[in-house]
Amino acid sequence: MKIESLVRENILKLKPYTSARGDYLTGILLDANENSFGSVVKDEWHLELNRYPDPFHNQLRNELGSYLNVEKDKLFIGVGSDEIIDLLVRIFCEPKIDNAVILEPTYGMYKVACDVNDVSTIPVMLDESFQPRLDKIYSAINKNTKLIFICSPNNPTGNVINSESILNLAKNFNGIIIVDEAYAEFSGKPSMINMVEKHPNIVVLRTFSKAWGLAGVRCGYCITSPEIIKLLYKIKLPYNINKLTSQIVIYALKNFAQKDKFVTAINFEKEFLIKELKLIQKIKKVFTSDSNFILFECANPTDIYHKLTEKGIIIRDRSNQVKNCLRVSVGTRDQNEKFLNELRNVL
């Protein structure tokens, strides 16, 4: 497959902005109209905050590459995976002409990113086990379909999407398959990262917002073929990742054992929550979860959602996506017990 043939004409022709720090990061830097005297903030971290950051995220990509065992030219860093979703839409989808297939129910930002870019979306429902229906997907695709969004583990259903279906699409669909693995750390099931080598049209999205506990920092990344990585670097804003973000994420990578401990603890609490939810008679169904949240079904979910918020317990009403369902994130034991107590009362 020729990735280039899928890219919008204006992006192929684009002469990208050449940022000052793209060429030189050291020397007597008088090229970027920065403040050479320093910064109003005491630079305790020796980051030279008065200087623009490296637009190509070299240090961060080196560290992330060695952590993941992935070559640097297959890595792009974004301001959360949300930025990467938007960039992919803009690289491949011609507004008002092209479209993207979204396997629903799923994470809402895929549609929002398409809507913002005036790119139409074709929803294809997952089956009753929340797995893709390949026949439905293939009949929904048309000559203007450029992207298929697959979320695995899927938000809000919590399950991993079977890899055979993803690979079937990667082989047969002449477009880009975006596999959003925001919750992969919690699943223990094989990631699609290793499939990128063989399938240059697969883009695996990852984030530091979930297992790593860095949602406030805003950092996500993707693993894909070097051709797509080059396109992402070509169109992103010059200095999307700031120096503070880079340093915090590099520190986090060195401290990956803490992330592993969180994953173990969260998965343990998840099993506790699932067990307790199943004991509540008025809960009709508790779905299995490969993520850090649980979807469950009950009568009058919106009512229950509002009553819980009145008690200060905030969960998510997903009944507009999955009939009668609420979604709860796994919390600490104390939070989980408070949630369960209030839920029992409300029900």
Ligand X SMILES: Cc1ncc(COP(=O)(O)O)c(C=O)c1O
Contact residues for ligand X (CB under 6 A)? 80-82, 107, 151, 155, 180, 182, 207, 209, 215, 220
Which of residues 81 and 145 has its CB atom nearest to ligand X in the complex? 81
**Minimal distance, residue 186 CB to ligand X, in Å:** 12
Of residues 7 and 184, the one with the C-beta less far from ligand X: 184
Nearer to ligand X, 155 or 267 (CB): 155
What minimum distance in Å lies between the beta carbon of 253 and ligand X? 16
Pairing of strands 176-180, 202-207: parallel
Which lies closer to ligand X via its Cβ, residue 93 or residue 205? 205
In whole angstroms, how close is the CB of 180 to ligand X at the nearest point?
A: 5
Q: Which residues neighbour 337 within 8 Å (Cβ) at sequence distance 6 or greater?
A: none
Residue bearing tokens 């939810």: 277
Nearer to ligand X (CB atom), residue 82 or residue 290: 82
Nearer to ligand X (CB atom), residue 53 or residue 220: 220
Least distance to ligand X from the beta carbon of 211, Å? 11
For residue 93, the minimal CB distance to ligand X (Å) is: 19
According to DSSP, the residues that pair with 150 across neighbouring strands are: 179
What single string gives the DSSP state of each residue in 58-103?
HHHHHHHHHHHT--GGGEEEESHHHHHHHHHHHHH--TTT-EEEEE
Q: Is 275 helix (H, G, I), strand (E, B) or coil?
A: helix
Do 102 and 110 contact (CB within 8 A), yes or no?
Answer: yes
Q: Given the complex with ligand X, which of 63 and 83 has the nearer CB atom?
A: 83
Handedness of CA 209, 211, 212, 213 (dihedral sign): positive
Q: How far is the CB of 291 from ligand X (least distance, A)?
A: 9
Q: Least separation, in Å, of the C-beta of 82 and ligand X?
A: 4
Coil, helix or strand for 215?
A: coil
Neighbours of 327 (CB within 10 A): 24
Minimum CB separation from ligand X for residue 293, in Å?
A: 9
- DSSP code at position 49: T
Residue nearest to ligand X (CB): 80
Taking the C-alpha atoms of residue 193 and residue 206, their distance in angstroms, rounded to an integer, is 10
Residue closer to ligand X, measured from CB, 121 or 207: 207
The alpha carbons of the chain give a radius of gyration, in whole angstroms, of 22
Helices (H), the chain: 9-13, 20-23, 58-68, 80-92, 109-116, 134-140, 163-172, 226-235, 243-254, 256-279, 301-310, 333-346
